Structure 1
Amino acid sequence: MVRPCGLLTEQHKPVPLKSVDVELEVRDHVATVVSTLNYENKEDKPLEAVFVFPLPGDAAVCHFSAKLGETEIIAEVKEKQKAREEYDDALSSGQKAFLLEESLQSPDIFTMSVGCLPPGESALIRLEYVTELKEQADDGLRFCLPAVLNPRYEPQGSGGSGSGSVQVTSCPASLVPYTLSFSAQVSSPRPVSKIESNCSLDPLQYLNSEQTKATVKLAAGHKFDRDVELLIYYKDAHQPTAVVEMGKASEEPGTLMSDPVVMLSLYPEFPEAVMSSIASCGEFVCLLDRSGSMGCPMSQTKNAQTRISSARDTLLLLLKSLPMGCYFNIYSFGSSFQHIFPKSVEYNQKTMEEALQKVGEMQADLGGTEILMPLKHIYSQPCIPNQPRQVFVFTDGEVGNTKQVIDLVKKNSNAHRCFSFGIGEGASSALVNGLAKEGGGHAQFITGTDRLQPKVMQSLRYALQPAVGDVSVTWDLPKKVSHAVVSPPIRSIFQGQRSLIYARLSGKIPKDGEGSVTVKYSLAGQPSLNKLQFSLKPAEDTGLTIHRLAALAQIRQLEMEERESTGRQDDSVKKKVVELSVQSGVSSAFTAFIAVHKGDGEAIQGPLVRRMVPVPRLRMCSSTVAYGACAPMARTACAMPMMAQTIPKQKKLRGCKPGSKAGGGYRQLTSVFSRLITPSAARCGSSPTVGDSVLRPKGCAMDTYDCLEDSPPPMARMGRLTDRMMMVENASMPSQPPMDPLLQLVSLQKASGCWDLDQALAAALGKTREEVEKPRPASVSQEVWATILSLIWLHGFKMDTQDEWGLLAMKAVSWLRAQNASCVDECVAAGNALLGCQVQKGALGI
C-alpha cells in the first residue's frame, strides 16, 4: 500500500482545510468571486492553519470573514504590522483569530492564517474579491481561478528570502486533500455566445430567451489539479460602455467611496486606410525563459509537447513572419542570460538562418528564473531610429521579485512595447499581466492543450500595428459636475482592444444628465479620435464593485510611487495607500484583514500546533529520484522532496537520518539529486537526507536546509532546487517527435517570403522533386512556382491554423506581387491539380 504523500498531521490525517467552494458572478467584463473555505480540526490539540495561495494579480480583495457555528466575525482592514500584532496577541491569549495578507513581493500571493481552532470545531472562511476580466486577442474575456502555486524563484542577492518573502507548502496536484466546487453565472447587455474552459464543464444553461444570462459549473469529478480557466465570448463584443455607480452615503463626504464613480470601457477603432497596411519596420526583441521548469509538458495529455519545444516552434513562426527591413534579436535566460547577437541586427536571410540555428539548440538548461538582468541589458541598448522596439517575453512566470521587474518595465515604457506570454499552469498573473500593462502591450496565457503559436502570432499582429502617440482624454460633463480620473493614463491603444478609465464624479448630477469622453491620439502621423456619449444615470445592483476596482487602480499606482521613492525619508505615499485601503476595504501590500473572536467563553488552552495547508504543485514534470514511499507514484505524483509530515510548532529535529522516525521512512536520495544540492551542502561533504519538513544535508549547519517545522524551505531555495532538478532531468529526456508538416514547410521559407524549389520542399508537400518540377510552366521561375505551391498547400490543408501562418503568407504574397510574374492563373490551376486542392486565386490574395 502506498503511503499518502503530501502534508499530513502526526496521525496521518489530512490537513484541516476540507473543501473550497467558489461562486463566480460575471457582469459584462467585471467578475465578483466568493470563495468559502471549510476548516475542521479533527485533532486533540488546538490548531493554527496557514494557507499560502494564489489569486489573480489584479484582484481587489474586499471581504474576509469567519463563521463559527452561528457566529460570524467580519474582518477589518488595518495597517499590516498592527494587524499582525493584533493576531499574535489574540493567539497568545487563547482567542480565535483570522488574518489575511498580501505578499510584499507579488500581489497575486496571499497568506491566510486561521488561529486557535479548538479540537472538534469547524470554521467557514468567506473570501470575496472583484477583478476585471482581461480581453484576449481572439476577443474572449479570460477568467482564471488560480489553483497551482509553483515555487517562485528568488534571484540570488534579491533579499526575497527575508522577512518579506512568502513560504509555500505544496504537494502534487493529484494529492491535494481538499475538494473544489465551482459555479459561474454570466450576464451582459449583449448575448453570451459561448463559454469555454480548460476543465470539463456541464452544458451551458441560458437563463433567459435573449441569452444575455447564462450559468455553468464544473462537471462532476473535477480534480483540483490545475488552474480553472474560463473564456467568455459575447456577441458584438466591441461595444463601448459606461457604468455609473453611486457611492455609500455613510462614508465621509468627499472621499472615493462616498462620491459616484464611472467606469468607461472604450474600444477605439482605427481608420481602415491605416489598418490595411502592416508596418514594415520595428526592432523585435524576444526574451525566452530557459529555466528548468520550461522542460515540463504543456499539458497532462499523453505525449504532450514540452514548454521549451513549443517556444522553439513559436520562435520559428515568429521569425518567418517578420517583415524585411526590421531589426531583431533573441535573448534567453535562466540563472544567467544569453543573446544570439551582441545587439539587434537587420532581418535578412543570413541573420534569420543564424538565429534559427541557435533557437533549434535551445533547451531548458539555464537553471533558475532571473528575468531582471536580461531586461536591464535590453533596456541599456540604444533604440534604433525609426524602428519602434517591441519586446516579446515567454515565461512560465514563476519569479519572486515580480514588483521589481514590473517597475523596471514601467521605467522604460516610453521606449518600447512589451508583449508577454504566461506558459503553463501556475504562471504568475501579476508578472505576465504587469509586464504587458506597464509595457503598453498585451498579455496572453497558454494552459492545458492551448497552442502557444496562434496566441503569439495574434500579439505580433498587434505589434505590427502603428504605434499610437499623443494620447489625450477630454471630458464633457453637465455644469456643476466635475471629474477626477483615478486610473493610470492611457498610454497605448490597439485596434479593438479595450481601454478602461475610472473617474470620481462630484457635484450635483442631473437626473437625466449625459456626458461624453473623447480619446484623441496620433496614428501614423495623422490625428484621430473616438468619442463615447453616456448616461449619468446610476446603474442598479452594482453594490460597490466599481468603487473597489477604482480603489485598487489607485492603490497600485500609489504602491508603485512608493517603491520609486524607496530610500527617501518620506512615508507620505505609504500613508496614502493605508488610508485608501482602510477606507475602501480593499487589500494592499501595506494592509491586512484581521478578525478576532472575543467571545465570552474561556480562552483555549494547550500548546498550539501549526498545520501548513498545501497548495497544488505541477511544476515538476518527472521524478528521477526515489523518495521513499513516494517512489511508486506516477511521474507527476511526487517530485518535490520538500513535503513530508508536519510536526508540532517549535519542535526542532536535529540530525535527521534516513529510516528514522523523524525521517518518516524516506530513503537516501540518488546521486542525480545529490548533484543539485546547494554549494553550502557540497562543502559539508555529506550525503543529503530528507527529514519531516525540509531537505538538509546530514550534519550541515543552519545556512543549508534545517529540519525546523516552523521554518519551511523558503521559496527561493525551492525554486532554485526545482529548476536545477529540471535541468538535469531535461538532459536525459527522450527526443521530440518529427516536426509538424506545417512547421516543416514554414522552416523552408526564406526571409524575403519566397520558397526554393528543392527536395526539402517537395518532401514537405508530400511529393518527389520530379513531381513538383514537372507541372511548372516554362516561363515561371522556380521560386515563383514553389511559393505558389506553398500558398496553395497552406490554404488547402491548414486553414484551421491560419492564425499561425497568416502573416508569413502575406509576406509571400507581397514577394509574388513584386515579381510581376506571368501565368499566375496557370500556376494556380496546375498547383491545385498537383496537390489535389481547389483553392481559388482570389483566396490566395495574388
Structure 2
Amino acid sequence: MDSCGLITGKGQQVPLKNVEVEVQVKGCIAMVTSVLRYVNEEELSVEAVFAFPLPAEAALCHFSAKVAEEEVVAEVQEKQKARELYDDALSSGQQAFLLEESDESSDIFRLTVGSLPPKTSAAVTLIYVIELKVEADQGLRFCLPAVLNPRYAPSNIDTANVPQVAGVPSSAVPYTLSLRVLITSPIPVSKVESNCSLEPLTYLNTARTQAKVSLSPGHKFDRDVELLLYYQEAHRPTAIVEAGLKNAKPGSLMGDTVVMLSLCPEFPPEVTSSFGKRGEFIFLMDQSGSMSGSSIRSAQETLLLLLKSLPLGCYFNIYGFGSSFRSFFARSVEYTQNTMEEAMRKVEAMEANMGGTEILKPLENIYGQAYLPNHPRQVFVFTDGEVWNTKEILDLVRAHAPSHRCFTFGIGQGASTALISGMAKEGRGIAQFITSSDRLQLKVMQSLSLALQPSVVDISVKWTLPEGVSVTTLSPPLNVLFQGQRAVLYAQLTGESSVSNEGTVALHYSLAETPVTNQLSFCLKPAEDTGLAVHRLAARAVIQSLEREEREKKDASLREKVVELSVQAGVSSAFTAFLSIHKGSGQPVKGPLLKRALPVAQKRECAGINLNNVYFGWSGALDRSGGCEEVDGAYDDPGVMEFGCRFTGCEEVDGAYGDPGVMEFGCRFEDFLETDGHFGSGAEPYVQKESYLELVSLQKAAGYWDMNTDLLNVFSRTEEELVQQKPRQVDSAVWATVLALIWLHGFKAAQQEEWRFIAMKATSWIQSQKVGNLSECVQAGNALLGCQVKEECLGL
C-alpha cells in the first residue's frame, strides 16, 4: 500500500486530476500560475506526494490551497520549522500543505498534500516568475517542464530526502494539462512556435502588442511544453523600473525601487566573422544508458561536425562518461589530420553503455590537467542531465571559471535546468536545450561560433544617477558577454530626486584588446504595475548568490540572510518552504496516513533501448503466444513492450492496433535492426548517414576534399562526368573542394549554420592554393551539379 499510486490494470488511482496553467508574458518576463486539482476517491484519508520539476531560474513566490470553499495562502518559513509544523498539524487532525525545494537540486520541488479526507477535493495554486532566455534566432524560450527523469545519485550522496518519483509511460499519465498564454509587449509580437499543438495565435489589438495563445484541447501532461516567442526588433536594450511595496521597510529590497536592465552588446563585424586558430576544445559526452538510441546517434553526428569544424593549430580531446569515464587521448592533442582521423574512428564506436550519470569525476580529471599557454580551454558538455549532486558540480565549475569556459547541452525531455543552465552560467558559457524537435547539430555549432569569439575581459558597469538616488547592484558581477546574447542586471535604487527622472548605465569591456562601451538611458519613474515580478527575480538572484557563498564558507550567518530575504520577499530558497494549514476535524489521526506518490512522465528503457516517452499505440494486452513476455504476472503496462518480440505476434484489440508503425516522436519500427525476423534485444537502430554528413566526414583537417568514389556518390556523378567538366590545369583536390562548396550552398543552404566553419576552412584552403582560373572552376561546377551558386556566395 505504501508504494502504490500508479495507474495499472487493477484500477489503482492517484488523486491528481488535472493541471491548469496560465502564463502572463510582459516583455521578457513570464508570470506562471499553475492550479493543481486533487480528488481523493478512496475510502480513507491520504497524504499525496508529488515531486515535480520547475525551471531552476524561477522565483517561486506564491503558494495557496483551497479545500471545499476555504482558501489559505501559505507562508514562507525556515524549512525544518515548516516540516515540524506540518507534522504537528496532521497529528492534530488538520489539513496541511507543504511545498519545498530539493536540498540537492534547485529545479525539483516536492509538494505534500496532507490528510485529504475521503471524497474531498482540493486545489493547490502556485505562482512563479521567470526571465525568458534568448535563443540564437532571437526567440524568447519558455519551457513548462513536465518530465522528471530518474536522477543518478553517486555513492557519496545521501538520498534519504531525495523525492521518490513514480514514473509511467506518457500514455498512462493520469492527469491532463490546459495552458493559456497572454502576451503583452511594447514591441509587436511576430509569432509563437511550440513543440506541442497550439490553437491559432490571436492578436488583441491592431498594434499586435497584445496576443493570446493556448494549447490544443486534450493535451496530456506527458512532455515538456516549450514555447518560442518572437518579437519584432527584439534585439535591443531595455529597462524595466518597478516600484517597491509601500508598507515594506524603507531601504529594504522589497521597499525600494528595483530596475532590471537587458543589455545587448554589439561586437564589430570583423570580430564576429573571424575564425580563431587557438584554443583547447574538450567535448564531454554522456554515454550513460539513458542516452541510447537516437540520442547517441545524434551525439555521434554532432561530434563529427565539431571535429571537422575545428581550426588547424588548436588542441582537442573527447571524453565519454557514465558510471565511469574514459578519454580518447591521455591529454589534449594538437588538431591534425592524423589525430582527427583517430578521433573519428573512436566516435563511430561510441555506445550508450556506460551505466549511470557520474559527471563530477571526469570534470575533476579535466580541471586537474595543466592548461596550455595561449590556448583558452573550452569545455562542451552533452548530457540528459540526470544527477542529484548538482550543487557539488556547480561549485567545481565555478572554482575553475577563471581559466575556462563551459558550454552545455541538455538533451531530450526532462534535462535538469539546474545542471545545464547552472554549469554554463558558472563556466561563463551558454546553455542550450535540445528537445525532440530540435536539431542538436545546429545548436552546437551556434555555441562553437560563440566559443571561437575572443573572450570579453575587464567588464565593468558604471551608473550615472541624479543627486539623491543611490544604487546597489543585486546581480553577480558580469563575467561573460557574447554577440547576440542578452546580459541582464538587477539593481536596487534608493532615494528620490527632485532634479531629474533619468538615469544612465554604461557597460565597459575590452574585446580583442580594444575598449568598447555600450550605454543605455532609462526613466527612473516606475512603469505600470508588474506584480513585483522584477523584485522577486532580483531577490532570487541575491538568494542564489548567497546560497553559493554559504556552500563555500559554511557560514551560518549567510544561511540566516537567505532565510530572512526569502521570508521578506516571499520567494523560495534551499533553506525555506511554503506551509499552508487548514482547520480540519480536530480529531487526531490514528495510525499512519495512506501515502500516494503521484506519477510523472518519465524516460523508460527496455533491453538497452531508450524509449524516452515512447509508446506503441496498442490499446490492450499483448499476445503472449506471439513472443511478448509477461511481466510480473500481468500486462499492467500496455504502453511498453519487451524487445525481442515479433511485432506480428501482438494481439489486435477492439479491432484496431492504433498506429503501431509510428512512435510518439516520429521514430518508426524499421529504425530498429531486424535479425532473422525478430527485433533483437538491445539492437541499435540503423540509420543511413545523411549525404551531407557523408560529405562532411570526407573533408580533411586542412579543409580540402580529395576526389574519390565516396565523394562521387554524394554528388551522384560518375568519374567520367567529373573529368569531362574539370577545367584545365586545375588540381584534383581544388576541383573536389570547389564542387563540395557548391553542393553545400546549392543543396544544403537551410543547414548553413551547421557547416559554416567547414566551408570557411575550405575557402581558406582554396585561397591558399592561388588558383588562377577560379571563376571557370565555379562555372563548371555549377554546370556539373545543376546549381546556380555565385562565386561571391562561396566567399572566394
Normalised by the length of structure 2, the TM-score is 0.90
Q: 1:577 to 1:741 in 2, by over 3 A?
A: same
Q: 1:610 to 1:748 in 2, by over 3 A?
A: same
CA distance in 2: counterparts of 1:766 and 1:10, whole angstroms = 54
1:468-617 to 2 correspondences below 5 Å? 468-510=456-498, 513-566=501-554, 570-598=555-583, 608-617=593-602
Query: Which of 397, 400, 415 pairs up with 1:409?
Result: 397
Residue 734 of structure 2 is matched in structure 1 by 784
Residue 62 of structure 1 is matched in structure 2 by 61
> C-alpha offsets along residues 663-709 of structure 1, whole Å, 9 cap, x if unaligned?
9999xx99999xxxxxxxxxxxxxxxxxxxxxxxxxxxxxxxxxxxx
Residue 690 of structure 2 is matched in structure 1 by 740
Contact 2:706 2:736 in 1 (8 A): yes
2:581 partner amino acid: V
Q: 1:315 to 1:638 in 2, by over 3 A?
A: farther
Residue 323 of structure 1 is matched in structure 2 by 311
> C-alpha offsets along residues 700-725 of structure 1, whole Å, 9 cap, x if unaligned?
xxxxxxxxxxxxxxxxxxxxxxxxxx
RMSD over aligned CA atoms reads: 2.6
> C-alpha offsets along residues 146-182 of structure 1, whole Å, 9 cap, x if unaligned?
00001000112x2232x34222122112101111101
Q: Does 1:750 align with 2:749?
A: no
Tell me, what secondary structure is at the counterpart of 1:732? coil
Residue 820 of structure 1 is matched in structure 2 by 770
CA distance in 2: counterparts of 1:760 and 1:658, whole angstroms = 51
CA distance in 2: counterparts of 1:636 and 1:418, whole angstroms = 45
Q: Does 1:185 align with 2:170?
A: no
Query: Which of 200, 206, 228 pairs up with 2:197?
Result: 200
**Between 132-141 and 497-506, the greater mean CA deviation after superposition:** 132-141
Residue 48 of structure 1 is matched in structure 2 by 47
Contact 1:175 1:637 in 2 (8 A): no
Contact 2:92 2:587 in 1 (8 A): no
Tell me, what secondary structure is at the counterpart of 2:713? helix
Query: Which of 789, 793, 796 pairs up with 1:843?
Result: 793
Residue 618 of structure 1 is matched in structure 2 by 603
Query: Which of 741, 751, 758 pairs up with 1:808?
Result: 758
CA distance in 2: counterparts of 1:632 and 1:396, whole angstroms = 20
1:258 partner amino acid: G
Residue 829 of structure 1 is matched in structure 2 by 779
Shift of 1:213: 1.4
Tell me, what secondary structure is at the counterpart of 2:560? helix
2:203 partner amino acid: Y
2:120 partner amino acid: E
CA distance in 2: counterparts of 1:194 and 1:637, whole angstroms = 40
Residue 333 of structure 1 is matched in structure 2 by 321
Residue 148 of structure 1 is matched in structure 2 by 147
Query: Which of 143, 148, 157 pairs up with 1:159?
Result: 157
Contact 2:407 2:430 in 1 (8 A): yes
1:340-489 to 2 correspondences below 5 Å? 340-489=328-477
Shift of 1:194: 1.3
2:316 partner amino acid: F
Contact 1:16 1:41 in 2 (8 A): yes
CA distance in 1: counterparts of 2:106 and 2:215, whole angstroms = 27
Q: Does 1:220 align with 2:217?
A: yes
CA distance in 2: counterparts of 1:276 and 1:247, whole angstroms = 44
2:270 partner amino acid: A
Q: Does 1:276 align with 2:264?
A: no
CA distance in 2: counterparts of 1:128 and 1:344, whole angstroms = 47
Contact 1:160 1:401 in 2 (8 A): no
Tell me, what secondary structure is at the counterpart of 1:318? helix
1:45 partner amino acid: L
Shift of 1:607: 5.3
1:159 partner amino acid: I
CA distance in 2: counterparts of 1:348 and 1:632, whole angstroms = 45
**Between 224-233 and 9-18, the greater mean CA deviation after superposition:** 9-18
Q: Which runs of 5+ in 2 are unaligned?
A: 623-630, 645-678
Shift of 1:364: 0.3
Shift of 1:800: 1.1
Contact 1:43 1:120 in 2 (8 A): yes
> C-alpha offsets along residues 250-270 of structure 1, whole Å, 9 cap, x if unaligned?
112221111111100000111
Q: 1:292 to 1:658 in 2, by over 3 A?
A: closer
Contact 2:288 2:322 in 1 (8 A): yes
Contact 1:63 1:128 in 2 (8 A): yes
1:85 partner amino acid: E
Shift of 1:13: 4.0
1:333 partner amino acid: F
1:772 partner amino acid: L
Shift of 1:405: 0.8
1:93-108 to 2 correspondences below 5 Å? 93-108=92-107
Contact 2:609 2:684 in 1 (8 A): no
Contact 1:24 1:33 in 2 (8 A): yes
Q: 1:510 to 1:638 in 2, by over 3 A?
A: farther
> C-alpha offsets along residues 427-475 of structure 1, whole Å, 9 cap, x if unaligned?
1111111111111111111112211001100111111111111111111
Contact 2:408 2:424 in 1 (8 A): yes
Q: 1:545 to 1:600 in 2, by over 3 A?
A: same
Tell me, what secondary structure is at the counterpart of 1:774? helix
Q: 1:346 to 1:429 in 2, by over 3 A?
A: same
Shift of 1:273: 3.2
Shift of 1:233: 1.2
Residue 114 of structure 1 is matched in structure 2 by 113
**Between 223-232 and 502-511, the greater mean CA deviation after superposition:** 502-511
Residue 21 of structure 1 is matched in structure 2 by 20
**Between 510-519 and 263-272, the greater mean CA deviation after superposition:** 510-519
Q: 1:323 to 1:114 in 2, by over 3 A?
A: same
- The percent identity for this pair of structures is 57
CA distance in 1: counterparts of 2:577 and 2:685, whole angstroms = 49
Q: 1:811 to 1:539 in 2, by over 3 A?
A: same
Tell me, what secondary structure is at the counterpart of 2:187? coil
Tell me, what secondary structure is at the counterpart of 1:24? strand
CA distance in 2: counterparts of 1:268 and 1:670, whole angstroms = 52
Shift of 1:274: 2.5
Contact 1:365 1:730 in 2 (8 A): no
Q: 1:636 to 1:26 in 2, by over 3 A?
A: farther
Tell me, what secondary structure is at the counterpart of 2:130? strand
2:601 partner amino acid: P
1:559-708 to 2 correspondences below 5 Å? 559-566=547-554, 570-598=555-583, 608-620=593-605
Shift of 1:509: 3.9
> C-alpha offsets along residues 782-821 of structure 1, whole Å, 9 cap, x if unaligned?
1110000001101111111111111110111111111111
Q: 1:619 to 1:534 in 2, by over 3 A?
A: farther
Shift of 1:198: 0.5
CA distance in 1: counterparts of 2:702 and 2:621, whole angstroms = 49
Shift of 1:271: 2.0
CA distance in 2: counterparts of 1:394 and 1:670, whole angstroms = 29
Q: Does 1:31 align with 2:30?
A: yes
CA distance in 2: counterparts of 1:261 and 1:638, whole angstroms = 59
**Between 270-279 and 583-592, the greater mean CA deviation after superposition:** 270-279
Q: 1:815 to 1:34 in 2, by over 3 A?
A: same
Q: 1:819 to 1:664 in 2, by over 3 A?
A: closer
